[in-house]
Amino acid sequence: MLSEKMLDALNEQVKHELDSAYIYLSMSAYCEAQNLPGFAHWMLLQAQEEQEHAMRFFRFINERGGRVILQALEQPPSEFESPTDVFAKTLEHEQFITGRINHLYALALEEQDFASQTFLHWFIDEQVEEEATAAEILDTLKMVGGHPHSVLMLDRQLAQRSEE
């Protein structure tokens, strides 16, 4: 059984995961409008992955006898300065989510909720990967400095991302 404190925090995380999906979907739409289908594809798959993360929390809450209470999502930003800005904001957002996961883990420790600790280990590992991937793409974008030919080559590379 989840404590009320843990249940509230997990429900809030469902919202943050769905927010992430919404943000990445908006970024996908922006990239599509900029004629960068590879970037758009990458962001669309990222949005789908975040929805899957939300569903992991959803199922976990239910399995532990809690009740999922969905919270309202805010409208995500729709305009960005450039693909570099998109990935700078992606990295910033992933760092925010990492902080949220760390907060959940600290709460699980405080509550002596061993099942939640075990559940959250997967997300801790996932966030290391999420931040590293966003940072790598951002570093590449910074290195090419917005040069159109290089951005188009990266766009083709990002189009190769497959569902994991």
Rounded CA-CA distance 43/136 in Å is: 15
Tell me whether residue 57 is in a domain. Answer: yes
pLDDT at 12: 98
Task: Give me the half-sphere count of Cα atoms (radius 13 Å) on the Cβ side of residue 136.
Answer: 9
Tell me whether residue 163 is in a domain. Answer: no
Mean pLDDT of the chain: 97
pLDDT at 88: 98
Tell me whether residue 30 is in a domain. Answer: yes
pLDDT at 164: 64
Question: Does the CA dihedral 26-24-48-70 come out positive or negative?
Answer: negative
Instruction: Tell whether pTM > 0.85.
Output: yes
pLDDT tens-digit readout, 108-144: 999 999 999 999 999 999 999 999 999 999 999 999 9
pLDDT tens-digit readout, 12-47: 999 999 999 999 999 999 999 999 999 999 999 999
Q: How confident is the model at residue 54 (pLDDT cuts 50, 70, 90)?
A: very high
**56: domain range?**
4-158
Rounded CA-CA distance 105/124 in Å is: 9
pLDDT at 163: 77
Rounded CA-CA distance 135/129 in Å is: 10
Neighbours of 146 (CB within 10 A): 11
pLDDT tens-digit readout, 58-78: 999 999 999 999 999 999 999
Q: What is the CATH number of the domain that holds 9?
A: 1.20.1260.10
Angle separating helix axes 114-144 and 83-110, nearest 10 degrees? 160
Tell me whether residue 16 is in a domain. Answer: yes
Tell me whether residue 151 is in a domain. Answer: yes
pLDDT at 146: 81
Tell me whether residue 164 is in a domain. Answer: no
Number of domains in the chain: 1
Tell me whether residue 70 is in a domain. Answer: yes
Tell me whether residue 127 is in a domain. Answer: yes
